[in-house]
Structures are given as C-alpha cells and as structure tokens.
Amino acid sequence: MTACGVQRSFDAIMGRPLCKPWGDAMQTSHFVSALVLTATLACPHAARAQLSRVYPGGMHQYVVNSEMQGTAMAPSVVEFQIRDTVAPTQLPSVTHYSLKIRLFPEEGKLEVVATMTVTNKTGQPMSDLPFLLYRLLEIQRVSDENGLPIKFEQTIVKVGESNLQASLTRLRLAEPIASGASIRVAIAYRGSIFGYPEVMSYVNDRVSEKYSLIRPDALAYPMLAEPTFESLRKAYGIDVPFTYDLAVTVPDEYLVACGGAPLTASTKEGLTTFSFKSKVPTSRIDIAAAQFKVLKDETKKLAVYVLPEDEKNAIEILKGTSRAVSLYSTMFGELKDYQGYTVIEVPDGWGSQASDYYFLQTAAAFKDLKRILEVYHEIAHSWNAKAKPEVRNTRWFDEAFAMYFQALALREFEGEQAYLAEMDRDRDSFIKRAQKDKKNFETPIAEYGKYDLGDNSYSKGAWSLYVLHQLVGEEQFKQIVRTFVTEFREKPADFKDFQLVAERISHRNLDKYFQEWFYTSGSSQLLVDRVSVTEIVKRY
C-alpha cells in the first residue's frame, strides 16, 4: 500500500484515524456518535475520481481506480459527503415549539400535537419544509394556522450515510413563506419510540412505565431538517435558538420533569397535565416522566428529580448543585439571566445532557457520590462564553472551562490535594491520548476543530487554563474569566478575543503562552514530560 490509498479512506469510514494526504482533505465530524465523513475537492484524488452516484442528502460515491493512485490497486469505491463545494441547503428555522403531549406508559406510546412557528431567515421565499421524526411516529394530520390541512408525504429515509432511519415528511405549502416572514404549522402524530441504540448507544429514549424520555436525539419531536447530519445539526437551535411551551399529560402516578420552567400541574380523571415554558431561548427540549421524587431549593430556584431507588443521595446532589452555583457566581460573576437549575436523573447509559439551566444526569452520579464532580461540571457550562462557529468544534470554549471549573470546585470543597490530583488526572488522560495517536500531540488547540480532536479540550484544554491561572494569579484569573464570559455571552469569541481580554486584564504580553498553548503544539511536550506547572509558568 502506498502512502496514500483508498484503503485509508475506508479506514476512516471504519472510524480509524485518517492519514495524510487523505487526512488533509477529508475531515471527520462526529455528530452525536454517528460518523459523517466530509471531504473537499481539494484532495487531488477525489478531484480525479469519477463520480458514480449522488445520493440524496449530499452523499457522493466515487470510484477511485489504480491509475489515479499510481499503484496496482484494484478499483475501489469511496463514499463521502462534499462540504465546501455544494452549498448546504438553507432552510427556515423553528423559532417556537408548542407541544401537547400525551404519554401512555403502559402501552409504550405517545400522541403529540406539535405547533411550530417557522421563520424564514434564508433570504428567499420557501415553500418546501422537510421535517424529520422518529421512524415509528406516524403523522395523522398537518394543518396551517387556520386549521386547514396541508399536503404532506411521509417516507422512511436514512440520515446521511448512517444506519439512522428517520421518517421524512415534506410539507408543500400552497403559499411560500416570504423572506423574513413566519408561519405556523401543526403536525399531529403518534406512535412509539425505541431510541437509536444501534447507532448511538446512549439514545435509549422510549415511553415506558419505568422511564419515559423525549429528546431531539431520538427525533421525538419534529426537526426541520433534510436527512443529513449537517442539516439536522442546524435544526438544533444553536445558531437560531427557539422558545417553547409544553403541556404533557401522564397517568396520575407519574411526575413530568423538563428543562423548562414549570408552570402548572392539574389533575383530572386520573391524568395529570404538567405545563412548562423554556427558561431562555434554547437549542433543545428534554422531557422525562417517571415516578420521580422531587427535591427543591426555592431560594436558589433549584429542583432535583430523582428516581425513588436513588432518593437517599438526592439531598447531596441538591446541595452540590447549590454549592457549585454559589462558587461560580462568587468567582466569575452572577449570571444576568440566571434561571435556577433543574437536575433530572436518567437511567444509566442513557447519556447525560446539559442545556440552558438544566441537565440530565445519569443514575451513576446519584448512586456514587464521588461522581458529584459531574454535577460541578455540568453547572460550569452556564459560565461558558459563546464561541464563533469556526472555533466551536475545538470544544475549548466550553469543555476546557467546564473541566477546569470542576477542578476549582474540588479545590474549594475538598481541598488543594483533590485539585492537584484532578489536574494530574487530566494530564495523564492527555498523555494517554497523545501516545495512542500522535495527532493529539501534534495538533494545536486552535486547530482541534478542523481535525475533530476537540476531546483533547477536556484534558489539555483544562491545563491551558490551569497554566494561565498560575501565571497571572488568583485575582487576575478570576477577573479574566469574568470579563471574557460577560463580554462574550452573546457576541461570539475566538482565541484572539480571549488573548486580548487576558492581556488587557493582566497587563502582560502573553504571546509566548498563546503560541505554545493555542497556536502551536509546543505545550504537548511539556505535558508529556510532566513538567510541573511552576516550571511551565517560568517560561512566560
């Protein structure tokens, strides 16, 4: 095999590391845990390969033959998605969801009427609206804001090139939505969900007597997207956040928990309806129903929903949540739009999730209080600055901060030794990753997004902040983070913005530190050599 061959691109498809030059031209991007391969025509081989098939959703199949590679290999087929040469389809956005949900835990079914405000920010009139739903959810009726039926067709499709099957419904509007205008559509549907464990192991979402979970991960509510991961990712309200209101009806013995603010609960004929609204404009809706016990701290607006078998530790989780909110508020400033916190226990293996002022926490942290660290981590995410889209995938702006904050929480609640031990664990984790794949060692933090190496922000990213903290000292570090988080709460930031804030507050030239930690991989050697933080700081 030559240095550049088709076999390598297959390796990539199998999830193993990419090699150059395919590695230069192709990027893998993990959306949830499904692998999406993307490529640009910059790759000389792809450019010379013959396009043999175009699949819906931007997947392309190429035949690359031996002649093109200058080797004696048999012709091979490569499939990937073109990212930069084909403009991604622009779609309008859902800017408000109003969901009326009835859960039937005994039957394992749900019935939903989803009324959505769809806003057209594409700059051109749009008359086709594709919606993705879980494959076993059947649409009963689609209507416009006057209650008149809208024509639709529902088909089963694959999302991207993955095994993730979804139902795709295309609404054809009689009148296009003008640019800048909004319309309302209502989709009534019912059926079952069983998650996507075959594709994403954590998505076990279902309606059942033990536990019911409704999340976008299982497409339990309509996502305005084409069946590609790129389009689906956009349908989460990350760039265009949405608001919501919900009414969820369950048999009496169940409690409904949701990331939104609870409004009312009313009981009638053995059924209780819980209503909620979004705390702030947000990117996702998470709803759980079970025989929860709920613990509240009214002054701090905290609520913990726990399964009965784990009730005994719930008070510690509530206290941990409260402690972390107080600590981060003191160190890095009160959050202007603070909305309290809702913590919702999900069964083990169903995946923790954090969003605006709530998180889903797997049972492990409720059973083993050593894992309360995960609570400190999730809450820390509320003190994240907003990252520019081009650096978001480095995960530094969210995960480096959350990991370092959780270490600071340990320092505060358990002492210096626990803090130092946590930083040692982060360094060990980076060293292990660097040994496993030298790309983790060689790639600067600022380039993590490009090569999908953002997982290193959990280890080396945390260390980058640790070093800065030791370098500028306690007061200035707090001031830098506080300023950065305040100034870039709405306006998105990149690494240069962080450097400007850090230099302005510390009155130092931090060029060498930023070069070694963000723009080159110089700092990787310092970590692998286990140079002490005191020694590292002397370099700057």
Site string for Zn ion, 390-419 (x = CB under 5 A): ------------x-----------------
> For residues 40 and 487, what is the distance between their CA atoms, to the nearest angstrom?
35
The least CB distance from residue 104 to Zn ion, in Å, is 34
Instruction: State which residue, 288 or 400, has the beta carbon closest to Zn ion.
Output: 400
The least CB distance from residue 378 to Zn ion, in Å, is 7
Instruction: State which residue, 353 or 521, has the beta carbon closest to Zn ion.
Output: 353
Which pairs count as long-range contacts for 174-180, CB under 8 Å and 24+ apart, including other chains? 174/150, 175/127, 176/125, 176/126, 176/127, 177/92, 177/118, 177/120, 177/125, 177/126, 177/127, 178/120, 178/125, 179/120, 179/122, 179/123, 179/124, 179/125, 180/120, 180/121
Instruction: State which residue, 305 or 376, has the beta carbon closest to Zn ion.
Output: 376
Instruction: State which residue, 20 or 425, has the beta carbon closest to Zn ion.
Output: 425
- The residue of the chain with the least Cβ separation from Zn ion equals 402
Instruction: State which residue, 62 or 396, has the beta carbon closest to Zn ion.
Output: 396
The least CB distance from residue 377 to Zn ion, in Å, is 6
Instruction: State which residue, 130 or 461, has the beta carbon closest to Zn ion.
Output: 461
Instruction: State which residue, 318 or 402, has the beta carbon closest to Zn ion.
Output: 402
Instruction: State which residue, 289 or 402, has the beta carbon closest to Zn ion.
Output: 402
Q: Which amino acid is at 257?
A: A
Report the greatest alpha carbon distance in the chain.
75
> For residues 247 and 327, what is the distance between their CA atoms, to the nearest angstrom?
34
Helix (H) or strand (E) holding 136: none
The least CB distance from residue 354 to Zn ion, in Å, is 6
Instruction: State which residue, 206 or 433, has the beta carbon closest to Zn ion.
Output: 433
Reduce the DSSP state of residue 165 to 3 states and report it. strand
> For residues 225 and 214, what is the distance between their CA atoms, to the nearest angstrom?
18
The least CB distance from residue 376 to Zn ion, in Å, is 11
Instruction: State which residue, 57 or 449, has the beta carbon closest to Zn ion.
Output: 449
Which residues lie closer than 8 Å to 480 by C-beta, 6 or more apart? 468, 472, 501, 502, 505, 506
The least CB distance from residue 479 to Zn ion, in Å, is 24
Instruction: State which residue, 302 or 402, has the beta carbon closest to Zn ion.
Output: 402
The least CB distance from residue 461 to Zn ion, in Å, is 11
The least CB distance from residue 484 to Zn ion, in Å, is 18
Instruction: State which residue, 49 or 402, has the beta carbon closest to Zn ion.
Output: 402
The least CB distance from residue 159 to Zn ion, in Å, is 25
The least CB distance from residue 280 to Zn ion, in Å, is 19
Q: Which residues pair with 189 in a beta bridge?
A: 112, 139
Site string for Zn ion, 79-98 (x = CB under 5 A): --------------------
Residue the block writes with tokens 């090569």: 451
Residues 147 and 108 sit within 8 Å (Cβ to Cβ): no
> Is residue 387 within the footprint of Zn ion (CB under 5 A)?
no
- Summarize the chain as % helix, strand, coil (round to 5): 35, 30, 35
Q: What is the total residue count of the chain?
A: 540
Instruction: State which residue, 133 or 375, has the beta carbon closest to Zn ion.
Output: 375
The least CB distance from residue 200 to Zn ion, in Å, is 17
Residues 129 and 224 sit within 8 Å (Cβ to Cβ): yes
Three-state SS for 467-489 is HHHHHHCHHHHHHHHHHHHHHCC
> For residues 255 and 307, what is the distance between their CA atoms, to the nearest angstrom?
10
Reduce the DSSP state of residue 363 to 3 states and report it. helix
Question: In the 8-state DSSP scheme, what is residue 371?
Answer: G
Residues in region 112-171 near Zn ion by CB under 5 A:
none
Going by their DSSP bridges, the two strands 341-346 and 302-306 should be labelled as: parallel
Q: What is the CA radius of gyration of the chain?
A: 25
The least CB distance from residue 176 to Zn ion, in Å, is 40
Q: ∠ at Cα 315 (310, 317), nearest 5°?
A: 80
The least CB distance from residue 381 to Zn ion, in Å, is 6
The least CB distance from residue 352 to Zn ion, in Å, is 9
Which of 194, 190, 221 shows the shortest CA–CA distance to 207? 194
Size of the site for Zn ion (CB under 5 A): 1
Angle between helices 416-436 and 460-472 (to 10 degrees): 140
Reduce the DSSP state of residue 100 to 3 states and report it. strand
Instruction: State which residue, 458 or 513, has the beta carbon closest to Zn ion.
Output: 458
User: Which residues of this protein are in contact with Zn ion, per CB under 5 A?
Assistant: 402
